Every structure is written in structure tokens, then in C-alpha cells.
Copies of this chain bind each other. A is one copy, B any other.
Amino acid sequence: MSEAPIGVFDSGVGGLTVLRALLSELPHEKFIYLGDTARLPYGTKSPESVTRYAAQAAAALADRALKCLVVACNTASASSLPAMRERLPGVLVVGVIEPGAQAACEASPTGRIAVIATEGTVQGRAYQEAILRRRGDARIQAMATPLFVALAEEGLVSGPIALGVARHYLAALSQAASDAPDTLVLGCTHFPMLAGVIRAALGERMRIVDSAATTAKEVRQRLEGAGLARRAGASAVRFLASDGAERFARVGSRFLARTIAPADVELIDL
């Protein structure tokens, strides 16, 4: 069973930041990455639509004999884990919200935590609730920052425009007010790409929690705990996408920080 692959699911290429963290944390595993590029983005869609799409993706992965499925998409993690677990009995299904919320609670001295995410993730309140379950006195400020997604996809992640957008969104968080948050959760897979300008806009004092890195740690611990981690051998990755192999390869290469060839991307119908 430890030889079985780990699935990574996202609405598009953003989850490749999570795959990148997983490859670093678990260097001996085989991964199958599925991006639902035909229907991205999930972040502006209703929970009902996202759950229908995520369940279809889980069904498409059901015959791949996964040992674990990492739901890298924050929006799907917020709304659709039960529907995906139902279609993957016996598979460990891990989302990105709970590890991110846990890491934020551990990082924050005061419990004043800001979350930036897509509209869907913010309105679904999954981060807010996951943080409050761990820390009832937390004061949470959640904010949708959709331009970060477009900037990351465009590869415009540094320079005056990216910094201007970061300041536009984050000015309210960086002020020296006594009730300002001390910890920021990057609650969207695209945002680690912009970590540089986010840090520049916020200053050094803010603790930044990257849910990709925290989720990869959680997956490693759970696989090791269950005796399911692969202990030797090279890693391998297969890419599946529901549309646009060329764009997946081009934009995805930036997110994964390694070259993906269009021929390596298998198109599947969800």
C-alpha cells in the first residue's frame, strides 16, 4: 500500500504550489496531480457547484488506487471534503484548511489572525471556523484578494504592479494599531507565488502561514503515522487536466518551479 500514489486535486494549476511542497516534504512518493482546468476557477463559484465538480473529480480518481488524496484547492477543501471522501472509501483525504488553521493558531501570539483567500473561501467561513474551533478567543479578519490570483497566473509576481496590489489589499493589516493582526494565512494556492511582495507590503513583524507548506507537513506525518510513507526511490509525477494541456504546462511550470511539457499532461473528461 505504501507503493500506491498520492493524488493531488485542484481547480487548476494553483495546487502545484502544494505539490511542490509535497515533493520537498515527501521525496520518495509517486503523485498524480489533477487540475480541473475546464471549470476553473472554483473561488467565485457557489459551494453547490464546487461540490459537484469536486465529487466528479474524486470519482475520476477512484480507480487510481490512491493511498491519499490531498485536496489542494482551498475552495474545495472548504466545502467538498465530505463529498469527496464518500467517493473514495478507504483513502486518506486531506484538505488545506485544517493544517493552515492549526499552523496559524500555533504561530499567533495574540490570536489576531488575518486570512486572505478567494471570495468563495472567505464567504464559506471555513478558515474562520477552523481557527475558532482551536482558539475560541481568536479575532479573525478575512479578506478576498482576487487580483493576486490573476497576477500569479500572469507571472507578474514582483515589481511595482504586484507590490501596488499587495499594498492596496494589505494596507489595513500593516498598520501599527494595537489590535492589528500578527499572523496572516495565505489561504489560496496561488498566493505563495506572491510571498515576496506580500512580505514587502506587511513588513517583517507579520507571521505568514503558507497553507501549502503546512499541509505537506501534515500529509507526511499522517502517512508516516499509518506506515504508508514510501521510504526510498525516486519521486514521480503524472499530470491530468480537464482542459488546455498547453496552458497547464506553461503556467504550471512557474507554479511547480520545474518544467512541465505539454506532452506530459494527459487530458481527461470529468
- A residues near B (Cβ < 8 Å) are 37-40, 44-46, 49, 119, 146-147, 149-151, 153-154, 156, 160-161, 164-165, 168, 243-244, 247
- Which of B37, B40, B49, B161 is in CB contact (< 8 Å) with A165? B161
Q: List, in ascending order, chain B residues with CB within 8 A of A160's CB.
A: 164
A129 to B45, CA, bound (A): 34
Q: List, in ascending order, chain B residues with CB within 8 A of A243's CB.
A: 45-46, 49
In the complex, 21 of the A-B residue pairs with CB atoms within 8 angstroms, ordered by the A residue number, are: A38-B39, A38-B45, A38-B46, A38-B49, A39-B39, A44-B247, A46-B243, A46-B244, A49-B243, A119-B247, A146-B153, A146-B154, A147-B147, A147-B154, A147-B156, A149-B150, A150-B150, A156-B168, A160-B164, A161-B165, A164-B164
CB distance from A69 to the nearest CB of B (A): 24
CB distance from A143 to the nearest CB of B (A): 12
Q: List, in ascending order, chain B residues with CB within 8 A of A147's CB.
A: 147, 150-151, 154, 156
Beyond known contacts A38-B46, A147-B150, A164-B164: 19 more, CB 8 A cutoff = A37-B44, A38-B39, A38-B45, A38-B49, A40-B44, A44-B247, A46-B243, A46-B244, A49-B243, A119-B247, A146-B153, A146-B154, A147-B151, A147-B154, A147-B156, A156-B168, A160-B164, A161-B164, A161-B168
CB distance from A2 to the nearest CB of B (A): 37
A168 to B38, CA, bound (A): 28
CB distance from A197 to the nearest CB of B (A): 12
CB distance from A198 to the nearest CB of B (A): 15
Q: List, in ascending order, chain B residues with CB within 8 A of A154's CB.
A: 146-147
Q: List, in ascending order, chain B residues with CB within 8 A of A45's CB.
A: 37-38, 243-244
* A244 contacts B38, C-beta separation under 8 Å: no
